Amino acid sequence: MHKLLRRIVLAGIPTEPAPAPDAGLRTGAPRLNEEILQLLGRALAIRHVDAGSCNGCELEIHALNNPYYNLEGLGIRFVASPRHADMLLVTGPVSRNMAEALRRTYEAMPHPKVVVAAGDCGCTGGIFGESYASCGAVSNVLPVDVAVPGCPPEPAALMQAILAAVTNARRSSAASR
């Protein structure tokens, strides 16, 4: 046990301040009013769905929970059930084999809800594009509030996108810890 505690002490707390939300990633005006955004911004539950990604974006989403980004420290956590979620974080071009599961996940979420499309593929279909097997961009299947490009988007960019989705463009202080 002392070895374990020693490691914890040696590692310290590497958590870094959160980046500011990037309102530029919004696809349009917020669909939710400020009061609701404020509530969500303090305790946000995210359901992630890989709708066809190469798993590169998943690596960076995992990184959000490492001690440096410590997303949970902001009150934002990933949940197992869409019924518990306020936000749907979608990666990948939407494969035709996943389109139905993605739609059903969205429908299972309670209102109000927001959708973030992550990565070049989520934004535009990326290198996979649209084909017999791929519907391309997430917005071809669901309404998207925020889209964050990158291949994969780095964790800080993902945080900026997640925060932008629950922050009104005029009020960007929600990110301060």
Partner 1 sequence: MSFLLERTNVDEAGWRRAAESAFQAGGRLGALWGSDEGGGGLAVHALFAVHDRLLWTTLPVQDRYPDISHAFPAAGRMQRAIADLLGPRAGDDERGWLRHGAWRADSHPLRKDSPLDARLPEGDARYAFVPVEGEGVHEIAVGPVHAGIIEPGHFRFSVVGERVLRLEERLGYVHKGIEKRFESLSLEDGARLAGRVSGDSTVAFAWAYAMALEGAAAAPPPERALWLRALLLERERIANHLGDLGYLGNDGGLAFGLAQFSRLKEDLLRTNRRLFGHRYAMDRVVPGGVIIDVDLPSKNEILAECERLEEELGALRAIYYDHPGLQDRCINCGRLAPQVAAQLGVVGLAARASGHALDARVFPGFAPYDRLQPKLCAHRNGDVASRIVVRFEELFESLDLTRRILRGLPEGACRAPLPQPAAGGAGVGWVEGWRGEVFVVLEADAGGRIRRCHPHDPSWQNWPALEHAVLGNIVPDFPLINKSFNLSYSGADL
Interacting residue ranges for partner 1, rule: CB under 8 A: 3-4, 7-8, 11, 14, 48-63, 65-68, 78, 80-82, 92-93, 95-98, 100-101, 105, 127-134, 151-152, 154
Residue 32 or 88 with smaller CB distance to partner 1: 88
Query: Which residues on adjacent β-strands are paired with residue 134?
Result: 95
Find the shortest distance in angstroms from Cβ 25 to partner 1. 20
Q: Is 85 helix (H, G, I), strand (E, B) or coil?
A: coil
- 3-state helix, strand and coil shares in percent for the chain, rounded to the nearest 5: 40, 15, 45
Find the shortest distance in angstroms from Cβ 170 to partner 1. 31
Q: How many CA atoms lie within 13 A of 146 on its CB side?
A: 28
Residue 42 or 68 with smaller CB distance to partner 1: 68
Residue 54 or 175 with smaller CB distance to partner 1: 54
Nearest partner of 142 among 108, 106, 101, judged by Cα = 106
Find the shortest distance in angstroms from Cβ 56 to partner 1. 3
Residue 117 or 174 with smaller CB distance to partner 1: 117
Residue 16 or 34 with smaller CB distance to partner 1: 16
Token representation of residue 43: 């305790």
Find the shortest distance in angstroms from Cβ 168 to partner 1. 27
Give 84: exposed, middle or buried? Use CB within 10 Å, 0-12, 13-18, 19+.
middle
Find the shortest distance in angstroms from Cβ 28 to partner 1. 26
Query: Which residues on adjacent β-strands are paired with residue 148?
Result: 118
